[in-house]
Homo-oligomer: A and B are copies of this chain.
Amino acid sequence: MSPHSAGWREVSRAAPVFAALGDETRLALVARLSSDGPLSITRLTAGSAVTRQAVTKHLDVLAMAGLVSDVRRGRERIWELELEQMEAAGAYLEHVSKRWDEALDRLKQFVEE
């Protein structure tokens, strides 16, 4: 696809979301939140293999992609999932799959003619 054709914007929006999910530590954080609900940085760190600082960085990356958001509660910072972007990513995958099927249909049609 050329950088100027239709669909480019979709790609450049979806990529950062997938990139954010494409790290085991981050995906584990997402999994942890999804099963246990909103959690503080310290609680997320306990149960992760890495440092609190590393967890903080990963949460920042997820936040940049719009996958999580945080709320201050006293001295702690509570993180929770933000499903919008995840649903958008899922929709994108479905879209790609559907177009692929159509492309194969066109190809089959072409071969048969």
Report which A residues bind B (CB closer than 8 A): 1-3, 7-8, 10-12, 14-24, 27-28, 30-38, 47-49, 81, 83, 86-87, 89-90, 93-94, 96-97, 99-100, 103-104, 106-107
Contact = CB atoms under 8 A, between A and B. Distances in A.
Given A3-B49, A15-B21, A47-B2, A37 B103 contact: yes
Given A93-B87, A93-B90, A27 B2 contact: no
Contacts of A96: 30-31, 34, 81, 86
Nearest to A49: B3
Contacts of A34: 96-97, 99-100, 103
A106 B37 contact: yes
